[in-house]
Amino acid sequence: MKNNSKNILITGAFGGLGTATISELTKNQWHVFASDVNPTILEKYKDNKWVTPVLMDITDQSDIDKAFDVIAEQTSGLDAIINLTGILVVGSVVELPIETIQKIIDINLLGAYRTNQKFLPLIINRKGRIINISSETGWQTAAPFNGAYALSKYALEAYSDALRRELAFLDIKVIKIQPGPFKTEMTKHIEQKFAKAENESKLFKKNLAKGQTYLPGVYKNAHEPVILAKTIVQVLNSKNPKTAYSLKSDKARSFLDKIPIRWADKLIKRALS
């Protein structure tokens, strides 16, 4: 029998942001289809009546097709999709292997593209909405050694804008959330990622080493995932949500967008030399 609850699909549900978001949603009586590539998701939520765990690899279309069949058996419509999955890569855009660039685009951009495209009929049935979790990096000036992540998020921003304007003809809202640093596995391991990039670099060892001197405290000073989770609930409950929500942006990086580009270039070069 198909349920008539408020239904929502979340990708990347196993991580810290996903866990916090699911907790807030279930408090508000949403039924969550919690999808993740990590099979532990099935065990994690097996006894939660408000959560249906779904194993889904957003880089594999056949996997998404199977997940769609599972969800479509249980509900004729989705009230929302939250594309939460994302990875971070550290390294120079002249040194990273093309396979690494392809992987981050496949996950950070095309994962959302595939998911939204496949599940759109269920969104249309409920006049639901789509929330793409972007990043402050999607609108800020791109930083050295963060280019792979930046280009994936810049692309997600452009995709979200086009999607929003197209789906407006169907009265379906598309919202971007652009978080700054939050306590996730991504920020927790950023120092290790920089160290790995330094070790593998032939051209920028000194600059990557200097970059690491700014990293201590990044995770400690990052914001709690519940802040993002509550914002997502706010967006879902809002009759007229904003098109984009910038959340806890890094002040130093935001400053670089307020000064002339040449000044920003000089400051960045000096800071990493």
The tally of domains found in the chain comes to 1
Coil, helix or strand at residue 182: strand
Can you give the C-alpha Rg of the chain in angstroms?
Answer: 19
Does 149 participate in catalysis according to the annotation?
Answer: yes
Candidate list 45, 149, 154, 159, residue with the active-site label: 149
CA angle 178, 97, 269 (to 5 degrees): 60
Residue 243 included in any domain: yes
In a domain, 31, yes or no: yes
Q: What is the DSSP letter of 142?
A: P
Domain contains 73:
yes
Q: Indicate whether 1 belongs to any domain.
A: no
Check if the beta carbon of residue 236 is closer than 8 Å to that of residue 80. Answer: yes
* Cβ proximity of 100 and 144 under 8 Å: no
Pairing of strands 129-133, 80-83: parallel
Q: Along the 273 residues of the chain, how does pLDDT read in single tens digits?
A: 566 679 999 999 998 899 999 999 999 999 999 999 999 989 999 889 999 999 999 999 999 999 999 999 999 999 999 999 999 999 999 999 999 999 999 999 999 999 999 999 999 999 999 999 998 888 888 899 999 999 999 999 999 999 999 999 999 999 999 988 888 777 778 888 889 999 999 999 999 999 888 877 676 778 889 999 999 999 999 999 999 998 777 777 778 888 898 998 999 999 999
- At 119 the three-state DSSP class reads helix
pTM of the model: 0.92
The answer as to whether 197 is a domain residue is no
